Amino acid sequence: MSNETATISATVPAAVKSEAAAVAAAHGMSLAVLVRELVARVAARDAETLAWLDEARR
């Protein structure tokens, strides 16, 4: 995976970010962990996404 750090804050509406943060807090995790978990769950069910994530790790 790339060592570059990206931020998506500017492209995510404040209401969505706030709701996501509330969901993460309700589950006792950070927003970053929630996003990683969501991506992993999508990738597990979508071969194209999984392949894309594997390529990004190289």
Q: Which H or E element spans position 21?
A: helix 14-26
Helix (H, G, I), strand (E, B) or coil at 30: coil
d(CA 32, CA 12): 14
Instruction: Report the pLDDT value the prediction gives residue 49, as an integer from 0 to 100.
Output: 75
For residue 10, pLDDT beyond 70: no
Mean pLDDT over the full length of the chain: 78
Average pLDDT over residues 41-48: 80
Higher pLDDT, 28 or 47: 28
For residue 38, pLDDT beyond 80: yes
Instruction: Report the pLDDT value the prediction gives residue 44, as an integer from 0 to 100.
Output: 80
Instruction: Report the pLDDT value the prediction gives residue 16, as an integer from 0 to 100.
Output: 86
Position 51, amino acid: A
